């Protein structure tokens, strides 16, 4: 029976932190003065580490970045030339060998997400790739993207598997749409209430998909 596997990218297929600060330092060097102008040095010193740790839209909302700051950050991200030295998690070869159709749905800034995909060398593994662009005015979020995929394929939702690490993003969306949700907890994260399954190694996928 046909199964459709929908994967997240960051901290699911590779460790986001492994990008390293050096690769994106010029972006922060230019963004810092904008933050300092609005929030002062002390507050900026608090905000910047959070930008490394959390999705941009989360931090932006938390501190109330204005439209100019949002637009400028997006511009810097989208003009930067990325040279990323990143690798997928070691057990990703299991995914590569799966015969099921695979789709990638990832949230972030378009150019950066495409650079990650390029430097990981994983593009060919997926029949389709969707970027949920966090500053797009017409953003439909992962849930909307999943709905469109379901509509287009008229596939039985019980044959669809959402595989990712984020409880409030793909796992929640998949849960609400009645899809199978597989939480990837590579770093010992707590099991999410939205996760039907929770795995730490992709070998465990084989049993789930049987
Ligand atoms: Mg993720």
Between the CA of 174 and the centroid of ligand 1 the distance, in Å, is 14
What pLDDT, on a 0 to 100 scale, did the predictor assign at position 152? 95
Between the CA of 183 and the centroid of ligand 1 the distance, in Å, is 10
Question: How far, in Å, are 140, 166, 206 from residue 179 at the CA level?
Answer: 18, 15, 18
Between the CA of 13 and the centroid of ligand 1 the distance, in Å, is 8
Between the CA of 40 and the centroid of ligand 1 the distance, in Å, is 31
C-alpha span between 74 and 134 (Å, rounded): 9
Between the CA of 63 and the centroid of ligand 1 the distance, in Å, is 22
| Rounded average pLDDT per 10-residue block, the chain, 210 residues | 93 94 92 95 95 88 95 93 96 96 96 97 98 92 97 94 97 98 97 98 97
What pLDDT, on a 0 to 100 scale, did the predictor assign at position 55? 85
Between the CA of 54 and the centroid of ligand 1 the distance, in Å, is 11
Q: What is the pTM of this model?
A: 0.93
What pLDDT, on a 0 to 100 scale, did the predictor assign at position 54? 85
Between the CA of 119 and the centroid of ligand 1 the distance, in Å, is 17
DSSP string, the chain: ---EEEE--BTTTB-GGGG-GGGGHHHHHHHHHHHHHHHHHHHHHHHHHHHHHS-HHHHHHHHT--HHHHHHHHHHHHH----------GGGHHHHH--SEEEEEEEE-HHHHHHHHHHHT-GGG-SEEEEEETT-TT--HHHHHHHHHHHHHT--GGGEEEEES-IIIIIHHHHHTT-EEEEE-TT-PPPPTT-SEEESSTHHHHHHT-
- Determine phi and psi for 100, rounding to 5 degrees: -65, 155
Domains along the chain? Answer: 4-16+85-208 (3.40.50.1000), 18-79 (no CATH)
Between the CA of 10 and the centroid of ligand 1 the distance, in Å, is 4
Beta carbons of 174 and 4 less than 8 angstroms apart: no
Between the CA of 34 and the centroid of ligand 1 the distance, in Å, is 28
C-alpha span between 22 and 119 (Å, rounded): 16
Beta carbons of 6 and 162 less than 8 angstroms apart: yes
Between the CA of 55 and the centroid of ligand 1 the distance, in Å, is 10
Between the CA of 32 and the centroid of ligand 1 the distance, in Å, is 25
Between the CA of 150 and the centroid of ligand 1 the distance, in Å, is 21
What pLDDT, on a 0 to 100 scale, did the predictor assign at position 148? 97
Between the CA of 185 and the centroid of ligand 1 the distance, in Å, is 10
Between the CA of 12 and the centroid of ligand 1 the distance, in Å, is 5
């Amino acid at each position: 029976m046909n199964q459709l596997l929908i994967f997240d990218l960051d901290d699911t297929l590779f460790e986001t932190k492994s990008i390293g600060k050096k690769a994106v330092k010029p972006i922060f060097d230019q963004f810092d003065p904008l933050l300092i102008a609005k929030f002062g040095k002390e507050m900026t010193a608090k905000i910047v580490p959070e930008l490394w740790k959390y999705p941009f839209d989360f931090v932006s909302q938390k501190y109330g970045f204005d439209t100019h700051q949002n637009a400028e950050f997006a511009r810097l991200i989208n003009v930067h030339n990325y040279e990323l030295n990143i690798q997928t998690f070691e057990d990703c070869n299991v995914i590569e060998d799966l015969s099921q159709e695979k789709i990638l749905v990832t949230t972030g800034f378009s150019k950066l997400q495409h650079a990650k995909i390029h430097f990981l060398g994983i593009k060919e593994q997926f029949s389709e790739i969707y970027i949920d662009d966090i500053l797009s005015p017409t953003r439909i979020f992962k849930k909307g993207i999943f709905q469109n995929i379901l509509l287009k394929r008229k596939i039985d939702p019980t044959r669809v598997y959402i595989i990712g690490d984020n409880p409030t993003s793909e796992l929640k969306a998949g849960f609400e749409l009645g899809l199978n949700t597989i939480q990837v907890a590579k770093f010992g994260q707590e099991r999410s209430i939205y996760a039907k399954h929770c795995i730490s190694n992709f070998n465990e996928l084989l049993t789930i998909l049987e």
